[in-house]
Structure 1
C-alpha cells in the first residue's frame, strides 16, 4: 500500500498557548462537587438541564421495619411504590448496612442514601426476578436488568453520600452468567423470546448497577458504587439525565465500565471520579442489526470536571455505535492512569459511528495510546471483518467516525501520541487536533484516514517514526518534534 505523507514541521521554537488553564487532578472529580450546576456552554445546541424536584414526603426505611443485614427488598420497594402513588417523595436509607435484592424506582421518587449508609445487594438470582426488559451490550433482551432499575419513569433520583455495594463474585448470579458467546447470536430470535432468567438450566446476563430505561429527568448525585458485577451507571433510552459527584470503585473487575450512556440524549456528567476495571466514561448506541432496528442515538452529551483513574479507556465512543454517537463535548477533565486515553471503537458489523465530537482542556497521563481509533477489532469477535483488506462494499452496517475536534491537550506521558486504525471503505475523516503539549514514547500510527490535521503542537518522543498507510490529506502545521532519550 502506497504511503502518503503530507505534513510540515516548524523547526523554530514553539510554545503552545492554551486559551484557558488545563486542570490538574486536584481541581476535578467528586471531591470538588459544587452545590449548584453551572451554566452549560457547548459547541452545539444543548437544552438547559435542571435537577428533578420531589414533594416533601420522606420515609426512613428503618422506621417502617427494615433491619440491618436482613433482606429488606419488600420493605424498600413497598415504600417506593407507595410514595410514587401519592405523587412522590424521598425514601431514605440511614447509616448502617442494609441488604436488598433488585429495586425498581418509580416516578417522582428519590432513593437517598445518608452518610455512612451502605446498601448491599444480594447475589441470588431469585432476588432479581422476575426478568425485566433491558439491553445488554447493545442487544435488547429480558434478564435481571439492574440492581436498581426503572422503566418508563419520570423524575427519579439516586442521591446521597452513601454507598452501593455489589455481591461477591462467588454469588449465584456471577456463576450462572452468560459468557463466551458473541451476543449477536441472539439477534435472529424475536426480542420477546430472548429470556434469560436462570431457570431450568438457563443462564442470566449480569445485572448492571443502576440502569434506568425509557426514563426522563434522571438524577444520580453523590453516591459511591463499589464491587459491581458489570457496568455501573447506564441510562438506556433516557432523556434529560444529570450524573454528578459520583464515585465508582471497580478496579480488577472484568467489564466494569463506570458510566455508559446508551442511546440516550441530553446528558450532563460532571465532577465524577471513576476508578474502573474497564472503560470509564463510555458512549454507546446499539449493536449490529438490533441497534439499527432500534435506531436511537446517544447525543447532546457534556462531560466536564471529571477524573478518570484506572480503566480501559478514559472517554470511549463505542464499540456499539449503530444508532450513532453525536454532539459530545468533553472539557476540563483529567485522565490519570487509564490504559487508553481518548478512544473510538467500532467494527465493520456495528453500523452507525460517531460525529461532531469535541474535546477541550484535557490532561492525560496514561501507559497506552493517548488518542486512539480502533475500527477493525479482532478475528476473535468479528472473524475476517477484522482484516483490513480487501476493501468491502459499504452497507448499512458499515460505521464511520467524522468531525472530531480536540484542542488544548496536555499529554504528560503516553506510549503513543496517535494510533488511528480506520476502515478503508469509510475512512476516519475531518479530524483536527491543535494546541497540544505531548510527551510520548512513540509518535503516530495511522491507516485509512482522509482529512487529519495536527497543528500548533509540540511533541517530545523517543521514537519519531511515522507509520502511515491508505491515508489522504494529512497535514502537520506548526508542529515541533523533539527526540528525547
Structure 2
C-alpha cells in the first residue's frame, strides 16, 4: 500500500512540475474554449446543471398547458389570440413561417410565444402602436412610456421561443421622438411620483423608446433560440424578475445607439448561456437602478450565471453598470469568449448614481479586444456627470457614492489589447479587494491603477510594450509570481 501511495505521489508531482514547465499562455490557450465552441450555434437541447460559488438553483425547461393556437403570416390578431389563450388557462401560440407585423405584444401567464423557423415578426414604428403607456424602467428609472415590443408585467411562467426573427421598429415616430438630448436623471425628477412620470409623446415632445423584449415583475421567464435585429433601444431586459433563463439568442444591433444586447435589471436567479452578440453598445450588462430612484427601489441584481456566450462586437463583452444603485452581487461569469469588442470585462459606476457590486467572479475567459481588457471605469465622462468625472474634483462620500469590492478573475487569456488592466477608481471610494489569478495578457500597457486598495496579481504573465505600473492613490498592491516581458 505504501508503494502504491508513493507511486501516486510521484505521478502527481511529475504532473505538477510538467504543467509548471508549460508557459502559462499555452496552458490557457489549450484549455479555454474558443469562439467556435461557444455562442448560439453550439446551443444544446438539454440545460446543464448550474455550478455557482454563490448560490444553488435548478433551471428547468418550462411546461405549458396542452392548448395551441396559430398565427399565419398577414394576420393582425397576435394579441387577441394571446388574450384568448390566457383566459383559457394558457398554452402555446405559434407564429408560422412568413412575415408578421405588430404593435406592442403583452404576454400573459402560462403563455409560450413560439416564433418558428422562417417566421419574421417585425414591430411597427409609430408611437400609437405602443399606447397606452405601461409601467417600465428605462436606464434604471421607473416611469410610464412605451414599454417594450414584447412586454409582460406580473406574469408567471412565460416563454418566447423558436428560431425565428424579431425586428424592432424602423423609421417612424418611435425613433424620431426618442429622448437623446440629456441623461435621464436630468429629465425625470426623482421626487415626482412614478404614476405621474408619463411620456406618451404628448405630455412631452419625446418618448423613452421600447426595448425589444422586457418583462417586468415576472417569475419563471424563458427566452430561447431567437434572432433579434434593429432594436430601438436595449434588446432583452428582464426587470424585477425571478428565475430567468436566456439561451441561444443571436442579437444584431451594430450601429444602434444604446443597442445593448442583454441587460439584467434588478433581477434574481438568472442564467444566460450560449448567446451570440453583435451590438451597438454593451453585449451583456448587469444593472440595478440609477441614482435616487434606484435607491428608492433598492432591488439588487443577484444570483446570476453567464456562461458559453460569444461577444463578437460591442462596447463591452461583459459589463456591470453603470446603473447599480441597488447593488450587483453574486455574479459568476465563466467559459465565455469576447472577440473584437472595445473592452472585455468592464465595471462602470458614476459618482451620482450609487450602488456598486461585490462577490463577483470571472473564470475561464478568452478575449481579443480593441482597447482595455480588464477595465474599471468608475468616474465616467464629463458629458454625463460634469465635473464629477474628474478625480481632482472633491466629493464627500454620500449615499450615492458607489463601491466595488470582493472581485475575482481567474484563467483569463488576453490575446490582444491596449491596456491589459486599467483601473480608474474613486478617491472617496477606492476599488477594493480584487484578485487576479493566472492572467495572461498581451497589450500595449500592462497596468494602470487609480484609487485602489488590496489588489493581488498572482501567477500571471504579461507581454507588453509598456511594463511600468502607472499608479495614483493605490494602497496594498501585491504582485506574486508575475512575469513581465517586453513586447518587441
Query: What band does the TM-score fall into relative to the shorter chain?
Result: over 0.9
1:117 and 1:19 mapped to 2: Cα distance? 39
From 44, 48, 51, the counterpart of 1:38: 48
The alignment status of 1:345 with 2:348, answered yes or no, reads yes
Secondary structure of the 1:471 match is strand
Find the partner of 1:446 among 438, 442, 449: 449
- Deviation string, structure 1 residues 273-318 (Cα, Å, up to 9, x no partner): 0110100010000000000000000000000001001101011000
In the aligned structure 2, how far is the partner of 1:54 from the partner of 1:20? Answer: 43
Q: CA deviation at 1:46?
A: 2.4
CA contact 1:250–1:276 (8 Å) conserved in 2 = yes
Task: Please name the residue that 1:155 is paired with.
Answer: 157
**Superimposed CA distance per residue, residues 375-424 of structure 1 (whole angstroms, 9 cap, x where no aligned partner):** 11122211222121354322111100000001011100011101100011
After superposition, the C-alpha distances for 1:8-36 in whole angstroms (9 at most, x for unaligned) are xxxx9883255992100010000000011
2:293 aligns with one of 287, 290, 293: 290
Match of 1:387 in 2: 390
- 1:205/1:262 CA distance change after superposition, 3 Å: same
Match of 1:307 among 299, 305, 310: 310
Match of 1:448, SS state, is: strand
Q: Does 1:174 align with 2:175?
A: yes
Among residues 175, 194, 198, which one is paired with 1:195 in the alignment? 198
Q: Secondary structure at the match of 1:481?
A: strand
| Cα-to-partner distance string for 1:141-192 (whole Å, 9 max, x where unaligned) | 0000000000000000000010001122x31110011121221121232211
8 Å CA contact 2:444–2:465 kept in 1: the answer is yes
**Residue aligning to 2:332:** 329
CA distance in 1, matches of 2:279, 2:368: 16
**What is the deviation of 1:364?**
0.4
Tell me whether 1:52 sits opposite 2:62 in the alignment. Answer: yes
Instruction: After TM superposition, give the deviation of residue 82 of structure 1 in Å.
Output: 1.1
Offset of 1:456 from its aligned partner?
0.7
| SS of corresponding position for 1:324 | strand
Q: Is the 8 A contact 1:269 1:302 kept in 2?
A: yes
For structure 1, the 5+ residue unaligned runs are: 1-11
1:242 paired with 2:245, answer yes
Aligned match for 2:121, one of 112, 119, 122: 119
Which residue does 1:85 correspond to in 2?
A: 87
Q: CA 1:246–1:383 in structure 2 vs 1: closer, same or farther (change >3 Å)?
A: same
Q: 1:202 deviation in Å?
A: 3.0
Aligned length: 465
Counterpart pick for 1:252 among 244, 251, 255: 255
Report Cα offsets for 1:194-241 as digits up to 9, x if no partner.
Answer: 101012663211100000000000000000100111100000000000
Structure having the higher helix fraction is 2
Gaps of 5+ in 2: 1-19
Looking at structure 2, the residues matched to 46 and 135 of structure 1 have their Cα atoms a distance apart, in angstroms, of 28
Residue of structure 2 equivalent to 1:165? 167
Once superposed, which parts of structure 1, at least 4 consecutive aligned residues long, lie more than 4 Å away?
Answer: 17-20
Indicate how the Cα distance of structure 1 residues 361 and 200 shifts in structure 2: closer, same or farther if over 3 A, else same.
Answer: closer
Cα deviation digits, residues 424-472 of structure 1 (max 9, x gap): 1111011001112211111111110011111111111112222100000
CA contact (8 A) 1:20 1:361 kept: no
Q: Which moved more, 1:313-322 or 1:458-467?
A: 458-467
The answer for the alignment partner of 2:31 in structure 1 is 21
Q: Name the TM-score, length of structure 2 as normaliser.
A: 0.93
| 8 A contact 2:70–2:96 mirrored in 1 | yes
Picking from 361, 367, 370, the partner of 1:367 is 370
Establish whether residue 463 from structure 1 lines up as the match of residue 466 from structure 2.
yes
Any idea what SS the aligned residue of 1:470 has?
A: strand
TM-score (norm 1): 0.94
